[in-house]
Amino acid sequence: MLPPPGLSKSNPPVIETLRTAYKLWHGYHTAFPRLSRYTLGAKIDCVFHEIFISIFTARYAERHLKEQAIKDASAQLNVLIFLMQIAWELKCLDHKKYAAISPPLQAAANMIGGWQKYLKRNTTPDEQES
């Protein structure tokens, strides 16, 4: 039997941080202006999903595939942060909402960056050549 959602203590901290950000986003998305809800808002939602997939892929991947999945997650997170900035500039997100969602996104970016550094530091010279 699967544990109830959210009670799994085996998720990496970056997943929990992104989960917090996504819960905030989910509430904001429904309040997005109608004109942007199905374009910019839908894209932001898709990018969140892509990041979750990349992180879970990295978590369970073999060593040589892990680095690429983390690079993908990092790139997607940078896109997400940029799209959030655009949403704020277009006033789809007010200052208070943007200020609430920015810290967990930045924390996730720091965690992913740390994961990348860890993998790079702990790679053998043979693994770097391939």
| Segment 6-29, tens digit of pLDDT | 545 578 899 999 999 999 999 999
Between CA 23 and CA 19 the distance in angstroms is: 6
Q: Which CATH architecture has domain 30-118?
A: Up-down Bundle (1.20)
CA dihedral 57, 87, 114, 46 (to 10 degrees): 0
What is the three-state SS of the chain? CCCCCCCCCCCCHHHHHHHHHHHHHHHHHCCCCHHHHCCHHHHHHHHHHHHHHHHHHHHHCCHHHHHHHHHHHHHHHHHHHHHHHHHHHCCCCCHHHHHHHHHHHHHHHHHHHHHHHHHHHCCCHHHHHC
- For the stretch 69-82, pLDDT in tens is 999 999 999 999 99
- pTM of the predicted protein model: 0.86
| Spatial distance between the Cα atoms of 97 and 88, rounded to a whole number of angstroms | 9
Residue 40 pLDDT > 90:
yes
32 Ramachandran zone, left/alpha/beta (phi>0; psi -120 to 50)? beta
pLDDT at position 130 is 47
pLDDT value, residue 64: 83
Residues 103-118 pLDDT 10s: 999 999 999 999 999 9
Report the pLDDT value the prediction gives residue 9, as an integer from 0 to 100. 59
